[in-house]
Each structure stands twice: as structure tokens, then as C-alpha cells.
Structure 1
Amino acid sequence: MEESNNHTQSEISNLKEALSDIEEKYKVLSETVFEGVFITEKGYCIEANQVGCDMIGYSQEEVLGMFAADLAVPEHRELALERIANPLDTPFEIDVVRKDNTLFHAQIQSKKHTFEGRDARIVVVWDISDYKKSVKELVESENKYCAVVENAGDGIIIGDADGNMLEINSGFEAITGFSKNELLNKHISSIFAPESLEEKPLRFDLLDVGQSIIFERNILGKNGERIPIEMNSKKPSGKNYLAIIRDLRERKKAREDLERKNEELRIAKNKAEESDMLKSSFLANMSHEIRTPMNGIIGFAELLKMLELTSEQREDYLNVILSSGQQLLNIINDVLEFSKIETGQIVVESVVFDISSMLKEIISFFKPVAERRNNTLTLNTTKCNMAILSGDPSKIQQILTNLINNSLKFTESGNVEVGIITDSAEIIFYVKDTGIGIPKQYMNTIFDRFTQAQHDGINKQKGTGLGLSICKKLVHLMNGTIWAESEVGEGSTFYFAIPFTGI
């Protein structure tokens, strides 16, 4: 009996040692892990390691008997109660309130366990606040990156090490008209016009050694348009290329507009300088033109005072005075007419008039002038099929007077023909002469103001240089056109056409 008791005592002693050894191992295990470990029964804590206590800020004595759901924030309490009532092995996340009322985000996982003969659960708690913060920051960073990339005005292409396009932004879609699906996984060379790559090939070799490359090239839009772009390429990592594409169409258009405006300003400046020179030349010419007849008038008027003049001398002097006065009047009339035209004081009338009678009157007026230079002045109305027109006879007469006067001035011992053609939608007048003609270099400027065509070896003709300019402006006021044809030594023909106006 005594021997049996000794054996029992020995077994009990061995069991205690084994249990103590197990408890020591549990304590070592639970205190050396980095997670909080709790043993709960129906949601109440019956054991906790030090890490878990430190995690929630309570001592081990305070933790024992604590209801787990009381540690959850109010909005997560229902989830905690649900997991206590219906425990699962899958992890879940809640926000936990520490003793000092600070919060941390916890991931919790539990397993069923028999502890000291009781049905319990081993609950492991991880503080994942830093992880969640990092994830949130990463998501925010990615969102910012996506927002910047997608809202960038420039096109952005990300390619792999072989140059295949892995990502493009909406900016590049807007520039080219292509969608992402149409371009992804295609080689970047496919977006360029062939001649653009021949002139400026892709330089992956330079990008691979860390260089950034900026080139202007033409890319192809979806509609086949060649789009000028500036491309800034680099290789930010060993696996990917980055290209930023800037649309240069607006910049090039602005540059072209600027160049065009600069050209217009240059032309306007040249015209202003030319006009200023012409005006200076005109004023100098006018002072001379006015002085000549004025000297004739004053000089011969003084001679008329002489008492010993014969009647023939007196008549000659009077004729010179009259001729000089007429010349002066013509100069003044030209200047006044041009000034009225320039200031918009000329009004175009529309009245019924006899075109044949007007032309005959003009011919009769210039007959004596033509005869003084041994010229024949004729009228050709064979192509005129009407006698009465509606228009502004005074303007037509003034234009014809200037043209006939010019032809007679530059023609000697020749012919001057005045004609009219009415067999079209326009009435065409012409004055044709066999005079000296106009050199080709003056043909584009003969209708400009203050301009007179000159010939080598021929003296400058008297006049203001306004006659043909006045003709041009009067014709334009009547919505017509005026032009000339000429050959040096063979003569000139001046035409002007005005819209037909019936009665």
C-alpha cells in the first residue's frame, strides 16, 4: 500500500513538473511574440500577454475580466459583438480605443481553444495603423499621380524597355485623336511620320545612358494629319521610358501669325516711307510746277506795262499769261480733286445722259490740242450699240479728259483713238495712242499717286503726277476697273470698265 502511494505521488510530481514546463513555454511564447495575444471566454478576457496589454494601455490585472467589445469604437462595436456571438477563424479589422482614449487600427483573428478544460478562443491582435497609413498615402499618391498625368495638357507616354507603349494619358489622346486601346502595346515609332524619323531618329542609346532628349518632330494624327510636336524623352528607371509630348500647332500658328503681322508691318512701314518720300517729291514738284506758270503770269504781266509794245507783242504776252493761268488752274484742280477723293467728298451720281454727244464734245475740245502736236484725234463707236446710258457723266468725262490729255502729251505726229464698247455686261472705254509708250518697270506703278513714268532722253513732262491716280480712284468709286497695255516706241492703250447700267 505504501509502495502504491509512493508511485502515485511520483506521477503527480512528474505531472506538475510537466505542467509547469508547459506553462513556462506558453509564457515564453506569448511574451516574445510581437502581437497581442488574448484568451477569451464568451468575449471576456481570461488571459493576456504583456504585448497585448501594452497595445491597449491596460495592466494585466485590468485586462482580466474585460469584455472585448468594450474596446471597439462605437461604429465598430456591432461588428465586434457579431464576431463574439458567431466566432469565425477569418480575420477582421476594427478601430480599438486605448485606455488613454487614443485609437489604433487593429486586425484581429481568433481560433477555438480548450483552456484549463474550458471552451475558449485564442485571439491575436495586430496593430496595423502604420500599414494602413502607408496604404492610404500610397493610394493618395497614386491618385495624385493619376490626376496629374490625366489632366496634364501635354501628352504623356510610358513605354517598356523595348519601346512599346504601356500607358498613354488623355492629353495624348486629345492631341492625336487615337484612343488608348488603339495605341497600347504598339511600338512608339508607329506614331511618327516616316520622314520625321528619317531626319531625327529615336535615340534609345542616349536614353539608356541617362541623357534626356528634346526633339521637334511630326507625329501622325488619326485623320492622317502631320502634327508638329516637341518631344522630351528620358529613362527614369531601368525598365521604362517616359516621353512628354507638347502640341506645337498653336505655337507654330502664333509664330506664323506673328511673322505675317511683322511682314504686314514691314510692308506698311515701307509704304509709309515710300508715301512720305513721294509726298516730299510731290511738294517739291508742286512748288516747281506752280512757280513756272506763276513766273510766266507775273513776268509777262510786268512786260505789258511797257508803253512801247506793239499790238502783236501785247497779244503774244496775253496768250502766255492765259496759257500759264490755264496750266496753274489745271494743277490746282488736280490737287483739289485728289484731296476731295481722299477725304470721301466725292459722290457718284446716276443720271441719264447721251454718251455719243458727250464723246463728240470731248473730241471737239481736244482737236486744237491734237493739231498743235500734229496728231490725229478720232472717235470709234462701231462697237457701241446704244446712245443713252445711266451713270455719272461728269466722272466719265473727267477720266476720259485725263487719259486723252496724257495720250496727246506723249504722242507727236501720231494718232489718238477714243472708243467705247457696249456689247458685254460692262461698258468699256479706251484711249489708244501711237506715242512713246511706257517702260515695263513703270507698268505696276503708273496708277499710284505722285508717280510719273520717265524715259531716258525725254524731258520730264509738266504735271502733278496725280492724273492717273485720280482716274483709278474715280473708276473704283463707280465699282469699275482700270488697266493699261503698252510697248515702248509703239504706244499705249488705257482701258476702264464700269458696270452696265440700263435705263
Structure 2
Amino acid sequence: MFEIQGNSIASEDTSGTNTRQKDTGINPFSRTIAFNTSVLNGMSHEMRTQMNSIISLAFLLKDKSLVEPERDEFVNQIYSTCEQLIALFENYLESAIVDTGIPKSDELICNHNNLLDGLFSEFREVLRKTGKESIELVTEIQFSESHNIFIDKIRVYRILRCLFQNSLQNTDSGYIKTGYFSSENEVTFYVLDSGQGYLKTREFLNTNDLADSLSQYHDLSSAVNITLAKKLIQLLGGTFNIQCNGTSGSGIYFSIPVRLRPNNEITINKYINSIISS
């Protein structure tokens, strides 16, 4: 279900040269079975590990000598673990649904200037809940005259959530930067981080054999997040590329075609506003 088919999309490696996915000559159906087996085995192991963690924390909560701050910390850890499990299953199932070929783009009318406002707030809350408030969330938006566009906002949000979670998992300190800029016919979104996951993320994004990539990096969450993001970008008719950000951080950019709502004119202002959340 997770095998990516169709046209390959160029991406940039550390030297700045373009690389493309190569045809390995392996039967795509065989690769699909191999990856599904790897994913299901990985999900089984992940679920057991996380459930054991939840059970242990729940047992500790029964200790009547716990002070309130400790109790709150355990509750937050249980909540965070449950959210991780739910997200893993949701992303896997969403990817399987995309593979059926049934989903179609569902465009909504959105204002260009506040397209990601709700998502930025969500990301700040995620940093707080996961105890990673030391990571700075940098948000960038391109100012222009207010106009409306047709875009599949729900799936764009889903892509950015996957990329943000991947950056969060691979970043212990520094920053995660997300934003977008536009032209008349498309909007380009990006998520950059100062973490350590560039090589792993590049592998999952560009590989033709995700089962093999999983055997190299053993990171199920990143594999599922990156695979779903890639599939949704392709579903929306978009393109993507990855660059090394700094020493070993990741920078993923993807562009989605959009349509202007009639009777709206665009005057692009190249000034970019940067907001660093505390």
C-alpha cells in the first residue's frame, strides 16, 4: 500500500546536484508486499512498546505519595503516547486510502494571507505538550493584497503536520521553520529544521524500496509520515524537493497548484514576515 508509483520527482542532495529515483527493475507489487509486511511488523512492535509505557505510567499514577507536578507529568506522557499511536494508525490508513485511487482533491476557498494561521497555533501547542518548548517555531508568510484561492486546505494541513512531526522527532534543540510563498498559479510550502534527520528523511522521500529503507533506519514513524506526505503531494498534482539545512537538518519544499477566485487580482509583495514564537 505504501509503494509510490508514477513519475519520479527531482530532489537535491548535499552537493546541490539533482538526483532522481531510479527504476530498480523490481516488481512494484513485490516491493509493496515487502513494505506492508515491514510496516505491520513495525507497528506491532511500536504498539506493544507504547502500550507497555502507558501501563507503567498508569501504575505509577496509583502511588498516593505523588505530588501534583509529578502526577501531571505522567498524565501528559500518557496523553502524548496515545496521540503518537493514533497519529501512526491514522497516517497508515490514510496512505492506504490514497492507494485505492478513490480520493480526489477537495478544494476550498481560502484567504491567501491567513492560510496557515490555525496550523501555526497547533504547532506551538504541540511543542508545549511534548516538552520541547526549547525549540523555536519560526513561521514565515508572504504578504500580498488580500485575495482568495481554491486549494485543498485539509490535505495541505495533513502534509504539513506529517513534515512537522518528522522534524520534531529529529530535532532536540534549535528551531523548526515553516511557511509559504506564492505565485499566480501555485503556493510553495516548506518545513525546515536544525535537527539530525536529513539523510534518513531524504532516504524515505526518494527511495523506490521503502522496505529496504526501513531496514537501514528502523524509524517507522518517519517512514509513515514522509510516505503519506509524498503521496498527498502527488495526489494534489504537486512537486517536492529536499535540501540539507545547515549541517544535518532537513529542508522540505513542496508546491501545490492553485486557482484564484474570479475577480481577485494579485499584487505580490516580496516582503516576508518572520515571527519567532517564544
TM-score by length of 1: 0.41
Structure with greater Cα Rg: 1
Is 1:393 paired with 2:153? Answer: yes
Cα offset, 1:293, TM superposition: 1.9
Residues 398 and 453 of structure 1: CA distance in aligned 2, closer, same or farther (over 3 Å): farther
Is 1:279 paired with 2:39? Answer: no
1:87-121 superposed Cα distances (whole Å, 9 cap, x missing partner): xxxxxxxxxxxxxxxxxxxxxxxxxxxxxxxxxxx
Please name the residue that 1:495 is paired with.
253
Q: Distance in 1 between matches of 2:215 and 2:113?
A: 32
Please name the residue that 2:89 is paired with.
332
Is 1:484 paired with 2:203? Answer: no
Q: Distance in 2 between matches of 1:431 and 1:464?
A: 14
Cα offset, 1:370, TM superposition: 4.2
Cα offset, 1:310, TM superposition: 4.4
Answer whether contact 1:447 1:472 (CA < 8 A) is retained: no
Matches within 5 A, 1:210-249: none
Q: Distance in 2 between matches of 1:442 and 1:401?
A: 15
Residues 275 and 488 of structure 1: CA distance in aligned 2, closer, same or farther (over 3 Å): farther
2:45 to 273, 281, 288: 288
1:121-172 superposed Cα distances (whole Å, 9 cap, x missing partner): xxxxxxxxxxxxxxxxxxxxxxxxxxxxxxxxxxxxxxxxxxxxxxxxxxxx
For 1:494, give the aligned amino acid. Answer: I
Please name the residue that 2:181 is paired with.
421
Please name the residue that 1:319 is paired with.
76
Q: How many residues align?
A: 233
Please name the residue that 1:408 is paired with.
168
Is 1:475 paired with 2:233? Answer: yes
Name the SS of the counterpart of 2:172 in structure 1. coil
Please name the residue that 1:463 is paired with.
221
Residues 311 and 490 of structure 1: CA distance in aligned 2, closer, same or farther (over 3 Å): closer
Unmatched 5+ residue regions in structure 2?
1-22, 262-278
Cα offset, 1:355, TM superposition: 4.0
Answer whether contact 2:240 2:255 (CA < 8 A) is retained: yes
Please name the residue that 2:271 is paired with.
none
Answer whether contact 1:437 1:487 (CA < 8 A) is retained: no
Residues 437 and 318 of structure 1: CA distance in aligned 2, closer, same or farther (over 3 Å): closer
Q: Distance in 2 between matches of 1:443 and 1:353?
A: 31
Unmatched 5+ residue regions in structure 1?
1-263
For 1:293, give the aligned amino acid. Answer: Q
1:435 to 195, 206, 225: 195
Q: Distance in 2 between matches of 1:324 and 1:287?
A: 15
Cα offset, 1:328, TM superposition: 1.3
1:299 to 14, 39, 56: 56
1:446 to 192, 202, 205: 205
| TM-align CA RMSD | 3.0
Answer whether contact 1:428 1:495 (CA < 8 A) is retained: yes
For 2:105, give the aligned amino acid. Answer: V
Answer whether contact 1:380 1:419 (CA < 8 A) is retained: yes
Please name the residue that 2:5 is paired with.
none
Q: Which has the higher contact order (CA 8 A, sep 6+)?
A: 2
For 2:40, give the aligned amino acid. Answer: L
Answer whether contact 1:421 1:428 (CA < 8 A) is retained: yes
Q: Distance in 1 between matches of 2:79 and 2:197?
A: 30
Is 1:378 paired with 2:138? Answer: yes
Q: Distance in 2 between matches of 1:431 and 1:304?
A: 37
For 1:436, give the aligned amino acid. Answer: Q
Residues 410 and 464 of structure 1: CA distance in aligned 2, closer, same or farther (over 3 Å): closer
Answer whether contact 2:214 2:220 (CA < 8 A) is retained: no
Please name the residue that 2:123 is paired with.
366
State percent identity of aligned pairs.
Answer: 27
